[in-house]
Structure 1
Amino acid sequence: MALQPSLRSLIIAGPIDAPHTLDFFVDYICPYSAKLAKAMETSVKPLIAPNGKYGGKVKVIFRNQVQPWHGSSTFVHEAGLAVARVSPENFWPFSLKLFEVQQEYFDIPASKLTAVQIREKLAKLSATVLTEDQAAKVNDLLLLKSTPNGGTAVTEELKYTSCSPVKYSRQNGIHVSPTVLWDGLVAGDVSSSWGTEEWEKFFEQKVTV
């Protein structure tokens, strides 16, 4: 599944023209998604880095998987997309930071905050990886300031990244987060508990060029 040019920052590793594609559908407030994200950073990225064993052969695409039964899921994904627009190179660092503090956005902690307060909190979190000016731009993108039901400045990106994968998920039988696809097909054997050894074995079996 292609990405619109403005969302190329969701390719978090590997060259855009890599022959193989690893899609991972994750929610920022899913504990298992957090484990997989950590593995992507510590195990997968080194293997597919330019000087890695599979350098140039695999790209990894982050797929926003909003889980609407968690009230703050929409807000955290909005924040990720706002950072992607303001500072594309910091999308993945911010995503990792979000996964680190995900418990602050779980159902019970988030229930004590309004939607506006959650968005403000996320904008402040963005300042841990962005400049002060960039964080201010993220805050601006997360404000509700159009029509009474018009959403934020990144609502359209959220529709693209979330609604499209939902359809994509259906046709591929994706029901849980996280889910990994290899070249468009569900890789059901992938586990969020995998380390470098398991990922290296996976690539050894899957990379054919």
Structure 2
Amino acid sequence: MANRATKPVSLIWGTGPLKLDIFIEPTCPFCVRTLGKIKPFLSEVGESNVMVELHLHSQPWHLFSPVIMRSILAAATLPDGKNKAWHVLEIIGQHREEFEFKDHASGPNMEATPNDIVRRVEQYSGLSLQEAFKSQDVTASLKRYAKFARQNGIHVSPTFMVNGLIDNRFSSGEDISEWVERVRAELKNKLS
């Protein structure tokens, strides 16, 4: 098993010429708000116009971040994995407080183990993740996300990159129409 080639998992929606990379931490309230806007944004701007790639970005003050990220990527290795990973992202956002710590350092999750967290994700998502959680593909994906974030100077989430460059004009607090307007302007400039 040690010599088995690994295939990192990608979380990409859309096929367009403009690439929007979004770095998220799944239990961050600002990232949860961002996630809720991605599907409507894609619908509005058109999946043939933009490609959105999510990059899971661990933040150490979210203490179970790596376990939760690994659970999302485990879902992505299953059949129809991209949609299952999205489903897990949504349920984590809906139950965010159950995966977090009070003031990032106390509360009921102090007694929780990584297995408890994975079982909680399984319970809410209806998916069996224990075996996939151990996958070397998941490990390769986590390493790839960390390396890519470091190479691009990503420190906080959500962070947005347009065609490979950090774009601080985007934020989780904006209306979807602002994202659409900005992307349409970028597409117009790209085609000019």
Same fold (TM over 0.5): yes
The 1-side partners of 2:45 and 2:108 are apart by 37
Classify the secondary structure of the residue corresponding to 2:23: strand
Seen in structure 2, the aligned counterparts of structure 1 residues 5 and 47 have a Cα distance that, compared at 3 Å, is farther
Classify the secondary structure of the residue corresponding to 2:55: strand
Classify the secondary structure of the residue corresponding to 1:37: helix
Provide the aligned length of Structure 1 versus Structure 2.
Answer: 175
> Are 1:97 and 2:91 matched, yes or no?
yes
> Are 1:59 and 2:51 matched, yes or no?
yes
Q: Which moved more, 1:80-89 or 1:110-119?
A: 110-119
Corresponding position of 1:116 = 115
Q: Are the equivalent residues in 1 in contact too, given 2:8–2:141 (CA < 8 A)?
A: no
Aligned AA (1:14): G
Corresponding position of 2:3 = none
Q: Are the equivalent residues in 1 in contact too, given 2:24–2:55 (CA < 8 A)?
A: yes
Note the residue ranges of structure 2 that are not aligned, 5 or more in a row.
Answer: 1-5, 102-106
- 4+ aligned runs moved over 6 Å, structure 1: none
The 2-side partners of 1:37 and 1:168 are apart by 23
Corresponding position of 1:189 = 169
Classify the secondary structure of the residue corresponding to 1:7: coil
The 2-side partners of 1:158 and 1:202 are apart by 30
C-alpha displacement of 1:5: 6.2
The 1-side partners of 2:185 and 2:21 are apart by 17
Give the CA RMSD over aligned residues.
Answer: 1.9
- Aligned with residue 181 of structure 2, among 180, 184, 201: 201
> Are 1:75 and 2:48 matched, yes or no?
no
Classify the secondary structure of the residue corresponding to 2:61: coil
C-alpha displacement of 1:97: 1.9
C-alpha displacement of 1:118: 1.4
> Are 1:139 and 2:133 matched, yes or no?
no
Corresponding position of 1:149 = none
TM-score computed with the length of structure 2 as normaliser:
0.82
Per-residue CA deviations over 1:83-102 (Å, capped at 9, x if unaligned) read 00013132222212221111
The 1-side partners of 2:179 and 2:171 are apart by 10
The 2-side partners of 1:60 and 1:21 are apart by 6
Q: Are the equivalent residues in 2 in contact too, given 1:29–1:99 (CA < 8 A)?
A: yes
TM-score computed with the length of structure 1 as normaliser:
0.76
Per-residue CA deviations over 1:121-143 (Å, capped at 9, x if unaligned) read 1222231xxxxxxx23x12223x
Corresponding position of 2:44 = 47
Q: Are the equivalent residues in 2 in contact too, given 1:21–1:59 (CA < 8 A)?
A: yes
Corresponding position of 1:159 = 143
Note the residue ranges of structure 1 that are not aligned, 5 or more in a row.
Answer: 50-54, 128-134, 143-151
**Identical counterparts, % of pairs:** 23
The 1-side partners of 2:152 and 2:29 are apart by 20
